[in-house]
Amino acid sequence: MIDDRLIVALDVPHAVAGLELAAKLGDAVNFYKIGLGMLTGGGLALAQELKDEHGKRIFLDMKLFDIGATVEAAVRGLAQFDLDFLTVHGDPHVVRAAKEGAANSDMQILAVTILTSLDRGDLDASLLKAGDVQELVIERAARAFEAGADGVIASPQEAALIRALPEAAGRLIVTPGVRPAGAALGDQKRVATPGQAITDGADHIVVGRPIWQAEDPAAAARAVLAELPPL
């Protein structure tokens, strides 16, 4: 059985490097995240090739944020690529617009709560609402669900609290900020191990550098999968 709970972030410079990495990973990975950094390096073409020619699932991590009409138009355009997940910021007006744009497709809209690279000091510097980061994440997740989000992006440290929300029933929780035991944290501040994230309620975990920087990426991916609870 293919284990789609692991999503590998293709945080490499361009589509050619992405295809090379996917070739190294082979059957070990079935789900890939393509982010904003890849957009000018052929990211959408890479998404199409991985999906159409290799049968992979694709998470397009654009974190869209704009006025409603612009978000709706952008999502409608992206929906034609028949991708699996698309991220937008979790502000209710953005989520509602994104759901309108995705209405005639199977693409699921995931709302970003608070980026896993941010802590309270970062939020203060951005003049964002005072309060405990976890409480703000839970509040943003609930509001995103109420606005129609199919799921949320949240750190694994908040996964259990979000899963406990009544609004979270039947919705997805996708967690970046996942680091295998012993891996470097990089720029992530709110982290957990793969097994802990799934146990705490995440449906999918996103792992990048610990896999693509490994000497043997496929072995690293299988090691992450081995840390997960049985399907």
| Active centre residues (catalytic) | 63
Give the whole-angstrom CA distance, residue 104 versus residue 87.
Answer: 17
- How do strand 85-89 and strand 204-207 relate by DSSP bridges? unpaired
Write out the two tokens for 186: 């990089």
Q: Work out the angle between the directed axes of helices 68-79 and 92-101 (0-180°, nearest 10).
A: 40
| CA distances in angstroms from 196 to 180, 193, 203, 229, listed in the order given | 10, 5, 12, 9
Coil vs helix vs strand at 102: coil
What Cα–Cα distance (Å) separates residue 133 from each residue in 33, 83, 146, 167?
A: 25, 31, 20, 20
